[in-house]
Amino acid sequence: MPVRQMKESSEQHLVIKPHLQNPMNPAKKAPKASQNGKGPPPLESHSQTSPHPKNKGRRRGRGGRKSDQGDVLMRPSCRPCTVTSPVNGNVENGYISSDIDMGFPTSSKSLSFARRPGYGQVGTKCVVKANHFFAELPDKDLNQYDVTITPEVSSRTVNRSIIGELVRLYKESDLGMRLPAYDGRKSLYTAGQLPFAWREFKIKLVDDEDGVNGPKREREYKVVIKFVARANLHHLGQFLAGKRADAPQEALQILDIVLRELSTKRYCPIGRSFFSPDIRTPQRLGEGLESWCGFYQSIRPTQMGLSLNIDMASAAFIEPLPVVEFVGQLLGKDVLSRQLSDADRIKIKKALRGVKVEVTHRGSVRRKYRVSGLTSQPTRELVFPVDENSTMKSVVEYFQEMYGFTIQHTHLPCLQVGNQKKANYLPMEACKIVEGQRYTKRLNEKQITALLKVTCQRPRDRENDILRTMQQNAYDQDPYAKEFGIKISEKLASVEARILPAPWLKYHESGKEKNCLPQVGQWNMMNKKMINGMTVSRWACINFSRSVQDSVARTFCNELAQMCQVSGMEFNPEPVIPIYNAKPEQVEKALKHVYHVSSNKTKGKELELLLAILPDNNGSLYGDLKRICETDLGLISQCCLTKHVFKITKQYLANVSLKINVKMGGRNTVLLDAVSCRIPLVSDIPTIIFGADVTHPENGEDSSPSIAAVVASQDWPEVTKYAGLVCAQAHRQELIQDLYKTWHDPVRGTVSGGMIRDLLISFRKATGQKPLRIIFYRDGVSEGQFYQVLLYELDAIRKACASLEPNYQPPVTFIVVQKRHHTRLFANNHRDRSSTDKSGNILPGTVVDSKICHPTEFDFYLCSHAGIQGTSRPAHYHVLWDENNFTADGIQSLTNNLCYTYARCTRSVSVVPPAYYAHLAAFRARFYMEPDMQENGSTGDGNASHSSKGTRASGECGVKPLPALKENVKRVMFYC
């Protein structure tokens, strides 16, 4: 398919103008630095390595550059290059740094995403079903009105009640029979115009919380409705047909609100999902929580037109129990007969703060309150002033006299409700938790397990539940859908897919099996040896588990050493010192003791590996051990849980040996196509593949920093080993702050640094080549942040390259990887065993780039892994920027093949490994934060970290930097 030309009016580009117009130094032919004494086979030519002759003179890649810019950069040559010394400048870290000021500009603030270059053809064609339902575009005008309610209301629920009452009273008169859709805030939408452009209404609302018998409070609201704009559906139609590049967000938003209107009234809306205890019986999760089932709903623009994406969802809710019963479940003990400890009180206060309760001691009057705290005294000791003269009355007396309610459990504290200035006391036994409150704090292990049990559904069951949800929602009967003329299909979309072939993997020549072709996304290490097995001569073991005797620990270490040898490593069967037993609370002392005693024993030669046996439930021990080893001692460690030490399996030992080998700097396997130089747009010229991710603190932690991690391949052409760097940055900041940075040094002047620059330098040192192509996989970005992330991070990549050498601008392909989406793919026929894996999921390698994908942009869904349990979630890859001119087949095959190179297991994984590794590295770095920082967040001078290239924090935002990774740790895959 040809690249569609965008209209002039909507064409936007990123413009970068390096001031120096000299092209990159011409590359000289050079032999590839040999690996293990063997040079790779000669490079072959490829169909994708150079642009087609007719493309000459056009801009270099998609999603890019204005043609009148002229191409300041030469197309990189198809041979590995060596650096030639410049006349003016000096060689630093293998790059030519110039004394000339680059004057490097930031990107202009307009760019367009890469267009789809065509559709993939590689693989076995098949049909899958997707949880997308075709939605017919209405032919009515959509009108937007502004809504102002006075006095202002913060609750969407109350706002909806006010507008609901207005529609009930005035639909047939003032509203001209129109049924509007309302977003709960400031906007009202209608199909066709209302009979007025501006009107004021007075609406009286009765407070339902005041029960049935007593006098009800009535509130009056002034509602002003004012015409704002008409949404252009023609624009939406053109966008869906691929004739326009910019999505009309307003029209999509209106249609989304219209289709959510009825469900919002029926169910409990949370984000884009709806929950109800009636969809399926709630399941108890423990400690006063239960799981509610629900569904996710979103309208999306796709190639087949508008599509309604429906998926099943589950969430934890607070069980609507009497408060005393809730507290009993929370503490796991009988609270009616015994006093509460201070720890109990704190736990109750944490759990109930912000929770809505209703009173039960006033018959039908069920007033609702939000809990603000817990009294420090028991109910029997509580007194409060009842009049201006400060006449004091006890809570027990007050409830008896006022409501005839006798408080039974006076040893329990009272709930404090309302604000702190005017505290209201409510006895626990007179309150019940209001139904429908989502639990937003962290779940414990047992609760997570229980919730996963509920959410884990086989593909066929999930598909049936989705279809049942569609029938229950009955969009054909929905008055709002009818009013706006939206018709929804009740059938799952049938989509053409392809199953990409698994790549051949290369193992060491000395093994029985030198090459291996994975079957259904998996293989094993039997008869194979690691392609680059490392040597471990000096190792030690610390046993932190009281239940593991010395003899058991010794047997385990022997078997592990044997497995490492069988797998292709050289592993000394004897540790430097005997196995050392230590208490978990003395982790630092034990690590330093073993480190120093071992060094003395080996006459100053450093320990290469530390094995650690940990209790199954080890609290902070694992994190403390990793922090001390990687940022203080410079030790590579491998932790093993007690349960695996007692129950030794070959599979477990084989997996641990894979991890040990890459932590020592080895490679387990490589793609056969990589070593025989047959990967298009990777094998032809030195190519570096980056993975990047940002992990944010959990809900409820409002000041902990976010952690960014970037990994980059350090070998070419194999692209299997990845070095990683991490840094802390401002709370919930998604843009990676430390990709490129400059700061002032009193001696050296302006100094450049940052994670991209450091990784480019380490690639040069490791391979003897400088990268002439960059492929950047970015994880963890939501659709709303695509533009912002691309603009900022592509600019940082450009600046990092330019800071190393004038006019050094290797072409960049920037791909966002998403796992947190709701598209699911199902086999067309669940009974056909040849079209599914053992778990009933679609086969690994299944790729979809049509119908349910973006109308014009370059995206695809890829299920690269075999399912284990539940329904597989395909990864969604969106190529935002592509200066390397990948074809659809090129990027899809590369991504799928890379998924077979993940170092920790002999399975293909669900997300491309560089992105996976970045996630692991960011997760690991959470343990590096000081204990108080892990809990509460911390501030400090970020600039203190510039000297440490491993772990840094962005200086501007006042986030305390992470401790630096030791040099020997940084070079290897320590995060595996």
pLDDT band of residue 931 (cuts 50, 70, 90) is low
Tell me which residue of 484, 53, 153, 447 sits closest to 285, measured CA to CA.
Answer: 447
Share of the chain above pLDDT 70, in %: 85
pLDDT over threshold 50, residue 958 = yes
What do you get for the CA distance between the two ends of the chain, in Å?
Answer: 41
- Mean pLDDT over 383-412 rounds to 90
Amino acid residing at 285:
L
pLDDT tens digit string along 301-322? Answer: 999 999 999 999 999 999 999 9
Higher per-residue confidence, 635 vs 73: 635
pLDDT over threshold 80, residue 250 = yes
pLDDT tens digit string along 120-139? Answer: 999 999 999 999 999 998 88
- Mean pLDDT over 768-793 rounds to 96
Higher per-residue confidence, 851 vs 73: 851
DSSP 613-652: EE-SS-TTHHHHHHHHIIIII---EEEEEHHHHHS--HHH
CB contact at 8 A, 918 and 709: yes
pLDDT over threshold 90, residue 49 = no
- Mean pLDDT over 357-379 rounds to 91
- Mean pLDDT over 712-741 rounds to 95
Amino acid residing at 845:
G
**Helix locations, 62-194, DSSP H:** 156-170
Local structure of 85: helix, strand or coil:
coil
Higher per-residue confidence, 49 vs 64: 64
Amino acid residing at 813:
T
pLDDT band of residue 209 (cuts 50, 70, 90) is low
pLDDT of residue 385: 86
Cα gap 210→926, rounded to integer Å: 48
pLDDT band of residue 207 (cuts 50, 70, 90) is confident
CB contact at 8 A, 664 and 609: yes
Q: Residue 912 CB: number of other CB atoms within 10 A?
A: 27
pLDDT over threshold 60, residue 616 = yes
pLDDT band of residue 418 (cuts 50, 70, 90) is confident
CA angle 247, 251, 252 (to 5 degrees): 70
Cα gap 237→216, rounded to integer Å: 50
- Mean pLDDT over 613-642 rounds to 96
Find the Cα–Cα–Cα–Cα dihedral 52, 58, 64, 69, rounded to 10°. Answer: 150
pLDDT of residue 422: 74
- Mean pLDDT over 759-781 rounds to 96
pLDDT of residue 389: 81
Local structure of 276: helix, strand or coil:
strand
> What residues form DSSP beta bridges with 204?
220
pLDDT of residue 90: 56
Predicted TM-score (pTM) of this structure: 0.86
pLDDT over threshold 70, residue 615 = yes
Distance of CA 181 to the CA centre of its chain: 32
pLDDT over threshold 90, residue 68 = no
CA angle 887, 893, 898 (to 5 degrees): 130
Contacts of 176 (CB under 8 A, 6+ apart): 194, 195
- Mean pLDDT over 734-754 rounds to 94
Packing angle, helices 755-767 and 786-804, rounded to 10: 50
CB contact at 8 A, 810 and 774: yes
pLDDT tens digit string along 155-165? Answer: 899 999 999 99
pLDDT over threshold 60, residue 16 = no
Local structure of 751: helix, strand or coil:
strand
- Mean pLDDT over 534-541 rounds to 97
Average pLDDT score over the chain? 86
Higher per-residue confidence, 93 vs 679: 679
pLDDT of residue 797: 98
Counting beta carbons within 10 angstroms of the beta carbon of residue 756, is it exposed (0 to 12), middle (13 to 18) or buried (19 or more)? buried
pLDDT of residue 63: 58
pLDDT band of residue 912 (cuts 50, 70, 90) is very high
pLDDT band of residue 10 (cuts 50, 70, 90) is very low
> b or e along 297-326 (b: 16 or more beta carbons within 10 Å of the residue's beta carbon)?
bbbbbbbbbbbbbbbbbbbbbbbbbbbbbb
Cα gap 131→300, rounded to integer Å: 12
pLDDT over threshold 90, residue 141 = no
pLDDT of residue 86: 39
User: Measured on CA atoms in the order 341, 343, 348, 354, is the torsion positive or negative?
Assistant: positive
Local structure of 384: helix, strand or coil:
strand
Residue 15's alpha-carbon distances to 69, 106, 541, 806, 856, in angstroms, are: 8, 9, 56, 17, 22
pLDDT over threshold 70, residue 661 = yes
pLDDT over threshold 90, residue 99 = no
pLDDT of residue 388: 80
pLDDT tens digit string along 484-529? Answer: 999 999 999 999 999 999 999 999 999 999 999 999 999 999 999 9
pLDDT over threshold 70, residue 467 = yes
- Mean pLDDT over 884-897 rounds to 97
Q: In which element (H, E) is residue 932 found? A: helix 931-936
Higher per-residue confidence, 390 vs 930: 390
pLDDT over threshold 60, residue 52 = no
